[in-house]
Structure formats: structure tokens, C-alpha cells
Amino acid sequence: MTVYIVTWNLNKERNNYDTARRAFLQHLERYDNTKDVGLESVRWISATSTADQVLQDLRTKLDANDRVFLSKVVQGNHQGWLSQNTWDWINARI
């Protein structure tokens, strides 16, 4: 399994922002994932798919004006100020 960090921004100008946000978060829930309470639009997901495959999957729930960034978390090459629960989840999977 690979751990990826996913961050996104949905365009709040659209009429159905709340519905689109819920649909995107529900789509993320299909993956083994965790979040940190201090980071609203960030998730860490664990998947057997490549970064390209995960990104293409997530983009099915986004509009052309939304933004998403996905990157592999590499053991020994990550740092941050996160809750211990988030660190435990990440470190157990990389």
C-alpha cells in the first residue's frame, strides 16, 4: 500500500458547493483514509493504485475550475505538525 496526501479546493462560486463538497468527501471515504483536525481540505489516503490512477478517480467528482494536489508520502522524507493520531495512521502504513 502507498500513502498519499490529497489536498483540494472546490470553487465556492458554484450553486451546489455543499452538495459537491459532500460528494467529494464521500468519494474519498472509499479509500482507507485519515484527516487531521487542523486541516480541513487535506486527507491522507492509503491505496494500491498509482498516483495517476487515484487522481483520475478523484477528478470524477471535481469540476474543471476545482483544484486538487496528490503526492506520495515517502518514509523518512516527511515532516509536519499534526495530531499524534494522524502520525500514527501515516507511520503504520508507510
What average pLDDT does range 75-92 have in this prediction? 94
Tell the burial category of 75 from Cβ atoms under 10 Å away from its Cβ (0-12, 13-18, 19+). exposed
Task: Band the pLDDT of 13: cuts 50, 70, 90.
Answer: low
Number of domains in the chain: 1
Residue 2: count other Cβ atoms within 10 Å of its Cβ. Answer: 16
What mean pLDDT value characterizes the chain?
93
**Which CATH number does the domain housing residue 23 bear?**
3.30.70.240
Q: Could you list the residue range(s) of the whole structural domain that residue 47 is in? A: 2-93
Tell me the pLDDT tens digit for each residue of 41-59: 999 999 999 999 999 999 9
Q: Is the pLDDT of residue 15 over 90?
A: no
Residue 55 CA to residue 51 CA, distance in Å, equals 6
More confident residue, 44 or 20: 44
Task: Band the pLDDT of 14: cuts 50, 70, 90.
Answer: low
